[in-house]
Structures are given as structure tokens and as C-alpha cells.
Amino acid sequence: MRSGDVLLKMEEVSKTFPGVKALSDVNFTLRQGEVHALMGENGAGKSTLIKVLTGVHPMDQGKVYLNGRPIVARSPLEAQHLGISTVYQEINLCTNLSVAENLYIGRLPRRRGAIDWKKMHADSEQLLRRLNLNLDVKKSLSDYSVAIQQMVAIARAVDMSSGVLILDEPTSSLDAQEVQQLFAVMRKLRDEGMGIVFVTHFLDQVYEITDRITILRNGSLVGEYETSKLSKSSLVTHMIGREWKEEDEHRKTESSYTPEVVMAAKSLTRAGSIKPVSLSVRKGEVVGLAGLLGSGRSEFANLIFGIDQADSGVMTLGAEQFQSMNPKKAIRQGIGFCPEDRKIAGIVGELTIRENIVLALQAKKGIFNYIPLKKQQEIAQRFIDLLRIKTPSMEQRIDNLSGGNQQKVILARWLATEPKLLILDEPTRGIDVGSKGEIRRLILDLAKSGLSILIISSELQEMIECADRIVVLRDRMQVGEISGGDMNEASIMKMIAEGGGTSEQYPQTGS
Ligand SMILES: Nc1ncnc2c1ncn2[C@@H]1O[C@H](COP(=O)(O)OP(=O)(O)OP(=O)(O)O)[C@@H](O)[C@H]1O
Ligand SMILES: [Mg+2]
């Protein structure tokens, strides 16, 4: 087999879910030694194509050939035995086990009936070295960052794969440096002849790492292209099915905030998590929180919403002061919080879209103030339309939605509470390029109508477009602030890297 030879071929694959034709006669070809992007809007069918290939769902119709031979995988395990391994965005490893155990779980090496720990540790080290990773394999996986955990999942997949590696949105929780680390691994595997399927909503990454692109729209194949011959605007035009130009930035032209301070945090600290941070948000103001992964952005958001308690400092909401906060109180006080980790703090899988949308509103009103079904339906429909949530019905279980559409439901949940302050932690992660623009526009509209927003995003450009002011955190400390025309990627990156240099005083209540 040589690089360029067809490794995997899917022919005329169809799959229907109740009310949804998720795939119609899709063809897909993966070659040896290539990284192949699978692109499409939220709900286009990318994950479904992967899931029917890997035996998560049976396909209604279609054929799959691996190295020219027809195959049928009836379960992910069978797919793995055939040489097809998948790493999903949500890592399903056991963080309480060691790195080595995670690599060999379900296939622990044995010697005379007992687990051969020595061999397992030696093999693990060798496997990780192949990916240029230097970890203590005896340490618990939870001692490592999400990025490293992701790499361990990939190492495990690579070890069991005989040629096909599928990565469904693996980079959405990695920072720029970690993405590069992952790409280095992908390049190495590609050079070894592996075929890699890569799903992402970050267009820049597609152009950086992929050789070819297959585009799906509404469950149908649009086409297959060489990455170097497809412009960004053609790519998006094919994805959304209408003309798209790299839009002029939706950047705020004018700020619409008033002097009224909606929320002020004064010297909030939490041991091991946040050194004193003081920050206030005015009515109608959008404040961005910038910093590297682990700089304390999400930790700070957790303090404001009361998921974690501050050790010292006070928080002022309107005229009231709070020494401690908890989520219930926060919701009553008019705070909404769209968390970063939606799998843990977000969706309730067994509930419907409607139920997920009204959840926080119901909590705000209290359980004795039940929202009538009709009203619930009205609210759910409004947000399904506003955010273009792709579903056959609001009574669909939320875990049947595509990843990006689940995301939109969580955003809807908090908008439905009509908060005074909305905290958005990575609001467009996993959202397709078309909807990203719409969500940014929505944020600007909401601010104009008087909502105060605290936004955290790893995409600096996104914050620059939305925010009136950006506060930079570094090493769990506030190191500076940039506003207005001074906000650009270079100035923010500089502050993130160097810290200090704050020029403006931020407003504080009572001073
Ligand atoms: N288990 C399921 N039951 C019912 N419908 C489903 C199920 N899984 C997926 N769907 C539907 O199939 C369609 C395709 O979903 P899929 O998850 O493949 O989209 P995607 O391209 O991966 O989108 P995203 O970018 O948001 O991850 C969507 O309309 C989705 O609601
Ligand atoms: Mg998906």
C-alpha cells in the first residue's frame, strides 16, 4: 500500500432517524496518508456519518469498503477490531485510573493470569513516545490537563487502529499551543500512512492541517475538494448553500452601555483558584475575559455564579451586597450562566428540547410557580426560531440533537430567563461558521437592549467583535484591561504574554 491509495470507501450511505433524514446517499473516500476534513453546518450529518461507519448506529443502506474489502461494523468495538478508531470531543476515559491503565483498559496485558504491570508501563511509555508525549504513565489521568487527556485518548486509538483514525471536533477545548501539539501528532501519523478524518468548525485549522475536504449539507454530499484549491469563501458557500463572503466584522461601532453598574466584584479570591480580581459590568456593556487556558477565566465565572465560593471579597448586584453566592441565588438575582462544559453543567440528556429550554426559567420562578405547557411551548418555539435550532420537534430528546444544536439550546435556556447579567463561557464553541456570526450579532443586539454580558472566548477575534472592554487574566490574576479601538489581537496577546500595563481604571460601585 502506498500513500494516496484508497483506504476507506463509503458508498451511497443513508440513515434516517424519526423525522430526520440524517444522510442521503452519501459517498466518502479516505486515502492513505491524508488528513481529510469532514465539513458541514450543525446538523449536516458529520457525526452521523462517523457513527454509522463505526457501528454506533446501523445504516439503512450503503456499503463500506476497507482496503477494497466490504466490511460491516456492528459496534464500535467491531470497528476497532477492523482497524477504525474514533476519538470524540467528549473524552470517555476514566480519569481516576492511571495513564497506563487508560491506554490498556479492556486489554490489560497478562502474565500467568495476573496483570503484567511492568509490561503495561513499558508499553505505555513506548506508545506515548511515538506521539512525542512525555508523561508519567503511573500517574492518575486526572493529574493532567484536558488537552493531555485528549492526547492519551488519541494514543489509545492510534495503538488499536490499523489505519483509520477519526477525530470528531478534537480541538474545541484546546488552546493554540495544544492544537499545535495535536497537529504535530497528526502529521506524524499521516506520514506513517494513516488516514485521518478530521471534523472541526475552525476553518483556519482546516487550511492548516488537511489535504482534502468533503462537504455535507442537510445530509447530502455537496462534493469533495482539494484543500489547497478551495477558497475559504467557496468552502463556506458550499456548507451553507448560499453565497458567503468573509463578512465585514460585526464589530461594535458604538457602545450602548450606561453608567449604571449591574455587577461589581471586589477583590474576589479563592485559594488555589483566583487571586484578587475586581471587575464590574455596566448596564448594556459587554466585557470580555481574555487569558490562556488555566488563567482563571472560567474559575472567575464560577465564583460570580456561585458554583465555587469565594474566600474573600464582596460582590454587588444592583444595590445588594453578597459575601457568598450560590447558583440558585444567582439565578434569582438575574444572572445567567452558559458554562464551558455543557456535558457536565449543561444539557439534561433525557429531557426534551422544550424542557431543557425552560429549565432555568422554572428554577428562577420556583417550583410552585409552574410554567403552563402552552407558555413553555411558546418560549421554546421562539428560541428554536431565533437560534435556528435544527430539530424535527421541540419534543425531541436533546441528546438526539447534533452537538452544535445542543449548544444553542443551552444558550436559549439562559436567554429565556431574561437575565440582567449573562455570563457566556465559550458561547460559540462547536457552532458552525454561519451560526457563529448570528450568535455574535445576537450578543450585540442583547447588549443594545440593556443586557450586560461577560464573555469568555478563546477566539480573540470573537471577543474583539463583541466586547466594549477586555479584561486580561494571567496566572489567575487580573493583569490589565484594554478597551475601544485599542482592542486587537496583537495588543491582547501582548498583554496575555507580558501582563501589566493597565492604562484605564475600571468603574467600581461606591468609589
Ligand atoms: N440519535 C439520534 N436520534 C434522532 N436524530 C438524530 C440522532 N442523531 C442525530 N440526529 C439528527 O441527525 C442530524 C445530523 O446530526 P449530526 O449529529 O450528524 O450533525 P453534525 O453534522 O455532526 O452537526 P454538529 O456540527 O452540530 O456536530 C441532525 O438533524 C440530528 O438532529
Ligand atoms: Mg457532530
> Could you tell which of 47, 216, 397 is best to mutate to test the pocket of ligand 1, judged by most ligand atoms within 8 Å of the CB?
47
Ligand 1, pocket-test mutation among 401, 405, 435, most atoms within 8 A of CB: 401
**Can you give the pLDDT at residue 125?**
93
The residue with greater pLDDT, 250 or 373, is: 373
22 C-beta closer than 6 A to ligand 1 = yes
Q: How far, in Å, is the centroid of ligand 2 from the Cα of 80? A: 20
Q: What percent of the chain has pLDDT over 90?
A: 48
141 and 261: one domain?
no
Domain end point (choices 205, 240, 275): 240
Q: Report yes or no on 123 lying in a domain.
A: yes
Q: Which of 194, 225, 240 is the last residue of a domain?
A: 240
Q: Is 45 in the pocket of ligand 1 (CB under 6 A)?
A: yes
In the predicted structure, residue 469 carries a pLDDT above the cut 70: yes
Indicate if the pLDDT at residue 470 is higher than 50. yes
The answer on pLDDT for 502 being more than 60 is no
The answer to whether the CB of 390 is under 6 A from ligand 1 is yes
Question: Are 225 and 290 contained in the same domain?
Answer: no
* Domain match, 104 and 217 both: yes
Identify whether the C-beta of residue 155 lies closer than 8 Å to the C-beta of residue 133.
yes
pLDDT of residue 167: 93
C-alpha 194/C-alpha 477 separation (Å) is 43
Ligand nearest to the CA of 398: 1
Binding site membership of 405 for ligand 1 (Cβ less than 6 Å): yes
pLDDT in tens, 392-444: 999 999 989 988 898 889 989 999 999 999 999 988 888 888 888 888 888 89
Task: Record the cell numbers describing residue 251, joined without a space.
Answer: 464589530
Q: Is 401 in the pocket of ligand 1 (CB under 6 A)?
A: yes
Give a yes or no: residue 1 inside a domain: no
Which residue's alpha carbon is at the smallest distance from atom 18 of ligand 1? 45
Partners of residue 176 on adjacent β-strands: none
pLDDT for residue 361: 92
Q: Output the average pLDDT for the chain.
A: 88
E strands along 207-290, which residues?
212-217, 220-226, 261-270, 274-282, 286-290
Closest residue by CA, ligand 1 atom 7: 400
Ligand nearest to the CA of 52: 1
Based on the fold, state whether residues 171 and 81 are members of the same structural domain.
yes
51 CA closest ligand 1 atom index: 18
Binding site membership of 89 for ligand 1 (Cβ less than 6 Å): no
Residues 103 and 114 in one domain: yes
Please answer whether residues 390 and 42 qualify as being in contact, where contact means their C-beta atoms are separated by less than 8 angstroms. yes
Burial class, 411, CB count within 10 angstroms (exposed 0-12 / middle 13-18 / buried 19+): buried
For residue 429, being part of any structural domain is answered with yes
Q: Beta strands of 284-427 (E only): which ranges?
A: 286-290, 312-317, 320-322, 335-338, 421-425
pLDDT-derived band of residue 344, with 50, 70 and 90 as boundaries?
low
Give me the pLDDT at residue 377, please. Answer: 96
Atom of ligand 1 nearest to the CA of 407: 26
Distance, in Å, from the CA atom of 146 to the CA atom of 155, rounded to the nearest integer, reads 14
Three-class SS of 410-470:
HHHHHHHCCCCEEEEECCCCCCCHHHHHHHHHHHHHHHHCCCEEEEECCCHHHHHHHCCEE
Lowest mean pLDDT among 155-164, 305-314, 420-429, 469-478: 155-164
Q: What does the pLDDT read at residue 166?
A: 94
Cα-to-centroid distance, 20 and ligand 1 (Å): 9
Q: Is residue 314 part of a domain?
A: yes
Measured from the CB, is residue 43 less than 6 Å from ligand 1?
Answer: yes
Total domain count, the chain: 3
Q: Is 402 in the pocket of ligand 1 (CB under 6 A)?
A: yes
Work out whether strand 261-270 and strand 274-282 pair parallel, antiparallel, or are unpaired: antiparallel
Distance 406 CA to ligand 1 centre (A): 10
pLDDT at 205 over 90: yes
Task: Flag whether pLDDT at 291 surpasses 90.
Answer: no
Cα-to-centroid distance, 389 and ligand 2 (Å): 14
Q: Whose CA is nearest to atom 8 of ligand 1?
A: 400
Measured in angstroms, how far is the CA atom of residue 23 from the centroid of ligand 2? 13
Instruction: For strands 477-483 and 469-474, give the pairing.
Output: antiparallel
509 within a domain of the structure (yes/no): yes
Give a yes or no: residue 381 inside a domain.
yes
Do residues 200 and 285 share a domain? Answer: no
Question: Which residues make Cβ contacts (< 8 Å) with residue 393, sequence separation at least 6?
Answer: 19, 353
Ligand 1: centre distance to CA 53 (Å): 14
Please work out, in degrees rounded to the nearest 5, the angle formed at the alpha carbon of residue 387 by the alpha carbons of 435 and 282.
90
- Do 414 and 479 lie in one domain? The reply is no
From first CA to last CA, the distance across the chain in angstroms is 72
Residue 16: inside a domain: yes
C-alpha cell at 117: 504491570
H-run or E-run covering 480: strand 477-483
* Same-domain pairing of 74 and 11: yes
Q: How far is the CA of 36 from the centre of ligand 1 (A)?
A: 20
Question: In the numeric block, which cell numbers belong to residue 304?
Answer: 460570580
- Ligand 1 within 6 A of 47 CB? yes
Distance (angstroms) between ligand 1 centre and the Cα of 56 equals 13
For residue 123, what pLDDT is reported? 92
Is 161 found in the same domain as 300? no
Confidence check: pLDDT of 218 > 90: yes
What are the angstrom distances between the C-alpha of 272 and each of 71, 289, 296, 308, 312? Answer: 52, 19, 10, 12, 13
Helix, strand, coil percent values for the chain (each to nearest 5): 35, 25, 35
Beta carbon of 404 within 6 Å of any ligand 1 atom: yes
Q: Which of 240, 255, 270 is the last residue of a domain?
A: 240
Asked, for residue 139, whether it belongs to a domain, the answer is yes
Residue range(s) defining the domain that contains residue 99: 6-240
CA of 430 to the centre of ligand 2 (A): 8
Distance 45 CA to ligand 1 centre (A): 6
C-beta of 40 in contact with ligand 1 (< 6 A): yes
Determine whether the shortest distance from the Cβ of 400 to ligand 1 is under 6 A: yes
pLDDT at 248 over 60: no
Nearest CA to ligand 1 atom 6: 400
**Domain containing 50 — which CATH number?**
3.40.50.300
pLDDT band at 343 (very low <50, low <70, confident <90, very high): low
72 CA from centroid of ligand 1 (Å): 21
405 contacts 390 by C-beta, under 8 angstroms: yes
- Residue 336 pLDDT > 80, yes or no? yes
Q: What is the pLDDT of residues 112-154, one digit of tens each?
A: 888 888 999 999 999 898 888 888 999 999 888 777 888 888 8
pLDDT at 171 over 90: no
44 lines ligand 1 (CB under 6 A): yes
**Does ligand 1 have an atom closer than 6 angstroms to the CB of 472?**
no
Whether 474 contacts 501, CB under 8 Å? no
Alpha carbon of residue 487 to chain centroid: 24
Q: How buried is 427 (Cβ within 10 angstroms: 0-12 exposed, 13-18 middle, 19+ buried)?
A: buried
- State in Å: Cα 301 to ligand 2 middle: 27
User: Is the confidence at residue 271, as pLDDT, over 70?
Assistant: yes
Residue 218 CA: which ligand is closest?
A: 1
Asked if residue 384 and residue 428 are part of one domain, the reply reads no
pLDDT digits (tens, 9 = 90+) for 252-269: 667 788 889 999 999 888
Neighbours of 299 (CB within 10 A): 18
Mean pLDDT, residues 229-234: 94
Nearest to 484 by CA among 464, 502, 505, 460: 464
Find the helix or strand (DSSP H, E) in which 347 lies: none
Residues 161, 293, single domain; the answer is no
Q: pLDDT tens digits for 38-62?
A: 999 999 999 999 999 999 999 999 9
In terms of Cβ atoms closer than 10 Å to its own Cβ (0-12, 13-18, 19+), residue 484 is exposed
Using a pLDDT cut of 70, give the percent of the chain over it. Answer: 93
Strands annotated E in 212-260: 212-217, 220-226
Q: Which ligand 1 atom lies nearest to the CA of residue 15?
A: 12
**Does 330 share its domain with 362?**
no
Q: How confident is the model at residue 93 (pLDDT cuts 50, 70, 90)?
A: confident
Give CA angle at 343 (341, 347), nearest 5°.
115
